[in-house]
Structure 1
Amino acid sequence: MARSPRPPWSDGLPPELLGVIFEQLSCLADRACFAAVCRPWRTAAAFVDAPQRGLPWLLLPSRDAPSFFSLHSGATRHLTLPEGVRGARLCGAHDGGWVAVAVDPWRGFAAVNLFTGVRVTLPEKLRLEVPYAHGYGPVTVTSHHPMLVRTIVFSAPPASPDCIAAAHVSSASNIAFWQPGMSRHWIASRPEPDVIQDIIYYSGEEKQGFHVLTNREEVLVFAPRAGRDPNALLEMTCASYQMRRRANHLPASFIATRYLVESRGKLLMVVRHCTGNPRVRRRTRMFRVFEMSLLPTGAYWLEIHELSGRALFLRRGCSRAVEVSQFKMLKEDTIYFLDDTNVDMCDSMVMNNGSRYNMGIYRDGKKIRAGSRQFPRVFTADCSPPIWLVP
């Protein structure tokens, strides 16, 4: 008489023990793997509260083997991407697993949720309206232009009807806006900002909208025109904080890259200083952090010398601040940064195979050497730079 097959060992663990084990898994990817083992493990997982969200994954795109690094576990894992994302350039991210992609520099723009597969197609043309004085009265000339997309930022999940997107582009204007229902084009905005360093959507103490940081450290705020017809063409207004110019700039031998980060309801500007000698490999020398301080007559950047229990994750368009107390694997006053010091559109938009991107950790005024939870230090790209993704 044949023996009946033994049940899998995984079926024999008591639910209480499974629950204790599951609670020790802080990474969402680890929890998903746990729940996929068998029905009893999946049942145990259903009774445990979800982990604290907000700690970003480092997404490492690749045509052949895309992966992500999780600080929760200190591990790099393979990531299966939806159709149309693998091999595309990643040019933005939004909480909940959303990324903005470009199939090639001039076309194939979309927002895709990496976990659900939901895809929102974005237009490939920029609509520009220019008023002209005419003998018979004012005339508005409308034209449509191809565009290169550098960064896309969303005000809400891209599939939401209330979402508005802002894009840093190279075209007839350097900034463009889109909302659901605009299937043919983005709209340009006037006035056009100076050289754009970063864009975030921020609901501030004084202004709400897309905050655009320029290379002069000015901040412009673009928001939908108040009282507009929601069914009409999107119209954006532009306001300025009238920033006071700070006097303590470093010499021209340093190249500065600037980021905007929202933290504790405040707007931070992080300045990354790199060596600018063309004969020497570009290296990060220091970071300086400033907080916007508002005055009745304008605003100014106030330097802060410690992050006071925070860690920063920097990359244009998707930077974020995280409270260290919520994640035991983090140390305070730490900056995780991705290499985007090269602001030349031709270099950053048209990717060549073998492009190398340095990544690093900065803490207590110095760069931390390799070995901190196996954080990757160099990434060789074949399609896109790395990006922070919040699951």
Structure 2
Amino acid sequence: MAASSPEWSSLLPDLLGQVIARLPHVADRARFRAVCRLWRSALRLQDSHRRGLPWVVLDDGAYLTPSDGRIHHLPLPMNTRCIGSTNDWIALDRVDGVTHKHTYTLHNYFSDAAVPLPELDSIIGNVPETFEIRKVLMRSTPDDLVAVTTNICKYSFILCRPGKGAWVAIPLAMPYFRIIDFAFLEDMIYAITKAENLYAIQLDEDDDGKPDVSFVKRITRHTPYPNNDRYNNDMWMGTTDYDALRQEDVPDELVGDDSDIDDDNDYSSVYDCTLSDCEEVVSSKGYDLLATYRHLVEFRGKLLMVRRQCLVSAFTPNHHTRKVEVFEADMDKGVWTPVTRGLGGGHAIFISDGFSNIVAARGEVKEDVIYFSDTNDMFDMQTGIIRSLGPISRLDACWRTCVFPPDLLV
């Protein structure tokens, strides 16, 4: 007697739910959905109720799914590391083992699609060992605009569009080499500096679609540094008259001496100097330090700055959030206004080294909570309480970014 075919449609809902929980990739879920009507309904029901936290990704491709606390590994090519992310895409940097040349690619964690970035290769393919990419951010789709900030004066701010070309800020030109975070909003990039100046960078393009910048305008002015810090105050006072600039209009005193430029690509050039980290040391407590970090996030056409103070431990790899403040940019008055009663509308903020985002609260994502993946903690905007973010503490590495599964982005 021939064995009867399995009754896939008779599987219990609990068992189907366990199977779905182990199918993070879009292609696998599509195959699951195609089995039968019951499985399709089970997947729809599961997605309607669940909203897990975004995945936390390390530079070696390992990632943690906080919902179950499991650590997975994305097989990356040799000498390849993750350097940033946007929604469900990550940016990869591969270094040739012989020539040490860098090549850059956008990779979708869920569909496995890949988009090479030869425009970046031509600009930051050959860089010194001290070179670091601070942030890679896509405006929308991977064939649209990609913005990059680095720690090298010569390439502090880059715009590229795959297949169209790239634009590079003039070395040492304000505000580009002072940018610590930025966000897209319509046809602008808004950027903040350590002094909490907010700049609007008007995006443009030539007839061939190559990205360009038409002008830069200061939106908010910095407040004076405490304790009569003459170095920082004098530095910023020297730029207060330049509220709107085009790239070709940058004054010499904001750029530097042309004699410092080395056409032979010698890395001793002043334009290849290493910029300071995107943090501000407030004070020290024994061997530990208190540092201030600032993050810029777009929310419903508004710009929010998250300022947080962290305890940087000298003997453990993890930092801890000590204080969090949230501000909204008042575009008309040119000031930062404190946000004291949450975001409103049932949303949460996710902050990581490589990417920050705001999503609707549902399931494990709690309303008016700021999640910090790099410090393993979360801040409740309503109560002001900071709590540990449990599963992420299993990760040892300091650099982390967030990847958002498709169900988190709807």
Q: Establish whether TM, by shorter chain, passes 0.5.
A: yes
Could you say if the C-alpha distance between residues 252 and 114 of structure 1 is closer, same or farther in structure 2, counting changes exceeding 3 Å? closer
Counterpart of 1:164 in structure 2 is 145
Per-residue CA deviations over 1:290-316 (Å, capped at 9, x if unaligned) read 111122xx4111111232443210024
2: CA distance, partners of 1:242 / 1:334: 27
CA contact (8 A) 1:99 1:112 kept: yes
Among 112, 120, 123, the alignment partner of 1:126 is 123
Alpha-carbon contact 1:210-1:221 (below 8 Å) kept: yes
- 3-state SS, counterpart of residue 126 of structure 1: helix
What SS does structure 2 have at the residue aligned with 1:116? coil
* Among 88, 93, 103, the residue aligned to 2:85: 93
The 3 A distance-change label for structure 1 pair 245 and 181 is same
SS at match of 2:331: strand
1:67 is matched with which residue?
63
Counterpart selection for 1:301 from 309, 332, 336: 336
Once the two structures are superposed, the pairs formed by residues 375-390 of structure 1 within 5 Å of their partners are: 375-381=391-397, 385-390=399-404
Among 138, 159, 170, the alignment partner of 1:154 is 138
Distance 1:77 1:32 in 2: 21
Identity, % of aligned pairs? 21
1:273 aligns with 2:309: yes
TM-score (structure 2 length as normaliser): 0.66
Q: 2:373–2:392: 8 Å Cα contact kept in structure 1?
A: no
Equivalent of residue 202 in structure 2, options 223, 226, 238: 223
Instruction: Give the structure with the higher percent helix.
Output: 2
> Match for residue 345 of structure 1?
none
Change in Cα spacing, 1:248 to 1:329, as seen in structure 2 (3 Å) is farther
How many residues get paired?
Answer: 327
CA distance in 2, matches of 1:113, 1:59: 15
Separation of aligned partners in 1, 2:82 and 2:182: 16
> Within 2, Cα distance between the matches of 1:78 and 1:201?
31
Tell me what 2:179 maps to.
196
Separation in 1 of the partners of 2:106 and 2:178? Answer: 25
Return the match for 1:175 from 148, 157, 167.
157
Matched, 1:5 2:3: yes
Is the 8 Å Cα contact of residues 200 and 318 (structure 1) preserved in structure 2? no
The answer to whether the 8 A contact 2:59-2:400 is kept is no
- Compute the displacement of 1:28 (Å): 6.7
> Residue 336 of structure 1 corresponds to which residue in structure 2?
371
Whether the 8 Å contact between 1:54 and 1:322 is mirrored in structure 2 is no
Contact 1:194 1:215 in 2 (8 A): no
What are structure 2's unaligned runs of at least 5 residues? 227-279, 284-289, 406-410
Residue equivalent to 1:76: 70
How many Å separate the matches in 2 of 1:44 and 1:275?
48
Contact between 2:376 and 2:389, CA under 8 Å: does it hold in 1?
A: no
Using the TM superposition, give the Cα deviation of residue 266 of structure 1 relative to its aligned residue in structure 2, in angstroms. 1.4
CA contact under 8 A between 1:290 and 1:303: conserved in structure 2? yes
8 Å CA contact 1:55–1:390 kept in 2: the answer is no
Q: Is the 8 A contact 2:282 2:291 kept in 1?
A: yes
Partner of 1:377: helix, strand, or coil? helix
**TM-score when scaled to structure 1?**
0.69
After superposition, the C-alpha distances for 1:331-371 in whole angstroms (9 at most, x for unaligned) are 223221022xxxxxxxxxxxxxxxxxx42222232321355
Cα distance, 1:46 vs. partner?
Answer: 6.8
Kindly indicate whether residue 295 of structure 2 is the aligned counterpart of residue 259 of structure 1.
yes
Distance 1:181 1:31 in 2: 27
